[in-house]
A and B are shown apart, each in its own frame.
Chain A
Amino acid sequence: MLSVDIERGLGEFRLAASFEAGEGVTALFGRSGAGKTSVVNAIAGILRPDRGRITINGEILFDAARGIDVATPRRRVGYVFQEGRLFPHLNVRQNLNYAGLFSRGMPASEFDRVVELLGLRELLDRSPGNLSGGEKQRVAIGRVLLSSPRLLLLDEPLASLDAHRKSEVLQYIELIRDEVKVPIVYVSHAVEEVVRIADTVVLMSAGRVLAVGAAEDVMGRPDLRPGEGTFEGGAVIDARVVEQDMEQDLATLAFDGGTLTAASVDALIGEPVRVRIRARDVSIALDRPQRISIQNVLEGTIAQVGERPNGVVDVAIAVGGTTLRSRVTRRAARQLGLARGLSVYALVKAVSLSR
């Protein structure tokens, strides 16, 4: 369990962050400049807060009031940097074994396990300069895993990769999350990554924490949109693959409230997936529409109607135990007489799969 409660004034920019991160992946989410990297730097001991406290499993890493500031090498916090930061004068094997020089290494069996897990066997004798971006990040992750960390910090580990490499490395990170029982703090400004990987989301903006909570809740809150330029309001739904139609390239996903049809996913039947439906991709009808191209028509009840600026209205629709979000114009809301408790049909134009 990681507990952070820190403040730091950096000229005009003031950082004040307070949150706790338990098992699984905690995403620090927000646009660049929100102070996410400052927070992880403080956790790693690279940046010194002015006030506050940082603890891991009750052990104090930093406490301004008591004058405690554990040195970076003794914090046992694994840090995967945006650019990998492999040591250029050492080959992959030596990079992986680096922590071993300082009695932070792992036994040989652990080395083999990490090498297998991340598929590094073929790379061991290569030099970092000859690796692709994705390979570099995999080595960087392996190097950190082999330093016996109590906590992993991943600072935008996909930022410098192209789309294809992104999803490849992300798969490895998911593997780590499931195989290695170490809490992970994942910094990102990309909604897709956060939705796909995070259990808990800490939403940051301008050096402050706007919200902390389960990924489904935080990522689904449309009211958080104004603070976040990159944040696309919508609903995040945990679903399960029930059918894969290879012929038509379609997958059927079951969730608490019904089923969804989506472009076929790279997942087995029965596997859990996370789906994101943006508010602007959901339309509302009062009757079940006939002869319509939209495949996903879900019956539900309006749970809430929220006025927003610029003539739009955010509508929360309860579909079974799930809440969908829809964004319609105020005029449309008036014409249909949208109000709490009304039975409606949600027409979902696009379902984007987070995995």
Chain B
Amino acid sequence: MLAPEEQEVLWLSLRIAFWSVLVSLPFAIAVAYLLARASFPGKTLFDAAVHLPLVLPPVVVGFFLLILFGRRGPLGEILDSWFGIVLAFRWTGAALAAGIMGFPLMVRAIRLSFETIDRKLEAAASTLGAGRAGVFVTITLPLALPGIITGVLLSFARSLGEFGATITFVSNIPGETRTLPLAIYTYTQTPAGDAAALRLSAIAVLLSLAALYVSEVLVRRAARRVAGQDAFGRH
């Protein structure tokens, strides 16, 4: 049904979205926890900085990434010479761009979850012998699970749709950085590309629907667990 290069586009998009979410998740949890629980000078500014990708034009984010992580950029040079990691014009760069664009969404969802946790439960855990890390792993994190799932799926969906930052930072290279939205855009600019654009658009719709459905099911299940009810909903 799909041409080989269209299949390639699909798999590349999924791979980029997967890695962008996986790598940004621990940072998002840490930032969300900090914003929900800690108070420190400059917190408001930090909060604003985390949310910046949400309000900035994506092209601007891509441009900053290019300046910072380009081969000659300050961070890009360090990554290249120390670790041999090159981001510019690679799929890894596309994952970075997608991860950064989805980051505020992920942080928001997880932070909300942290804020609704009854902190008395954490105090109870500490009287039973759990230290800070123990409380976090056994109480805080499991109770925040609905928010974590929501955050992961939101940012996954956001990654799949990322366009502006990606095309600015890593360009539109077939098989390397040409993700679903970029491919659709390219086909619309090609004579007789409408059919392919339509097929890929249909896939984008299906993927988004699937992501929303999975998130809904998982969140509902996790919420029931967090509320302390059996799977059967006995009461």
Residue positions of A touching B, CB distance < 8 A = 44-46, 71-79, 81, 83, 85-89, 98-99, 101-104, 126-130, 143-144, 147
Contact = CB atoms under 8 A, between A and B. Distances in A.
B235 A129 contact: yes
Interface of B: 120-121, 123-131, 134, 138-139, 142-143, 145, 225-230, 234-235
B131 A89 contact: no
17 contacts: A46-B127, A73-B128, A73-B134, A78-B127, A85-B121, A87-B125, A88-B226, A101-B129, A101-B134, A104-B129, A127-B230, A129-B230, A130-B228, A130-B229, A130-B234, A144-B127, A144-B128
A85 B120 contact: yes
A88 B143 CA distance: 8
Contacts of A78: 127
A169 B123 CA distance: 23
Given A128-B228, A130-B229, A72 B120 contact: no
Nearest to B230: A127
A87 B120 contact: no
Contacts of A83: 120
A89 B228 contact: yes
A127 B229 contact: yes
Q: Which secondary structure dominates chain B's binding surface?
A: helix
Contact of A89 (B123, B127, B128, B225): B225
B149 to A, nearest CB: 14
Contact of B124 (A45, A77, A85, A127): A85
A127 B128 contact: no
Contact of A77 (B121, B127, B227): B127
Q: Looking at B123, B142, B234, which has the most chain A CB atoms within 10 Å of its CB?
A: B123
A143 B124 CA distance: 11
Nearest to A85: B124
Contacts of B126: 46, 71-73
A143 to B, nearest CB: 7
Given A87-B139, A89-B142, A129 B127 contact: no
Given A89-B225, A104-B128, A130-B230, 7 more contacts: A75-B127, A78-B127, A86-B228, A98-B128, A99-B128, A101-B129, A102-B128
Nearest to B131: A73
B142 A44 contact: no
Nearest to A128: B228
B130 A73 contact: yes
B218 to A, nearest CB: 15
Nearest to A143: B128
Contacts of B142: 89
Contacts of A76: 129
Contacts of B131: 71, 73, 102
B123 A101 contact: no
Nearest to A100: B129
B217 to A, nearest CB: 18
Nearest to A136: B228
Contacts of A143: 128
Contacts of B125: 87, 98
Contacts of B123: 46, 72, 85
Contacts of A98: 125, 128, 130, 138
